[in-house]
Amino acid sequence: MQRLKQELDGLSRYILRVRQEVAAIDRPAEQTDDFESMGDQMVAVVKATESATESIMEAMESNSEIVAQLREKMEDPEQLALLDKITENAGNVFEACSFQDITGQRVGRVAKSITFVEERVETLKNLLGEQETDDVEVEAGEEVSEEDALLNGPQLEGDGLSQDDIDSLFD
């Protein structure tokens, strides 16, 4: 009977620790970012990188067209050599921009893994019962610096202030 009581006490302490861990994930003591938004943040990084890369490539394509137009109007070998160098540099920029696809794939995998963990945590919360984690005291984590506490951006699409909101502050 004593052995059974010890096992039940141990199991009870283990369940309490699980509740504390789930509560800490659900509502970190010293952080403003929610765990559930990490996957969304990673997807936003991929989209922003993709958008920036597209802008860079469009600008470089436009420059290539301008170089072609200039080439038709020039005959000086030195000037044509400079245009060749510009074309070579453009090729290097295009090559460097190809990192976005590889980076996007890798970050996408991480986002998928984070989403999987988020779903498992949510399932665990539901199994424990939300009330079971709401009442659990969360231990204080690392102290957030004053500067980090002020950082809130960039916001996910649909969150934060719109450009119209910002413009209205100056009216």
pLDDT at 153: 57
CA distance 98 to 104: 10
pLDDT tens digits for 100-119? Answer: 778 888 888 888 888 888 78
**133, 24 Cβ separation under 8 angstroms:** no
Domain boundaries, the chain: 2-139
pLDDT, the chain, mean = 77
Q: What angle do CA 157, 102, 104 make, to 5 degrees?
A: 15
Q: Which residue has the higher pLDDT, 87 or 141?
A: 87
pLDDT at 65: 95
pLDDT at 1: 78
pLDDT tens digits for 17-68? Answer: 776 676 666 555 444 445 557 777 778 888 888 888 999 999 999 999 999 9
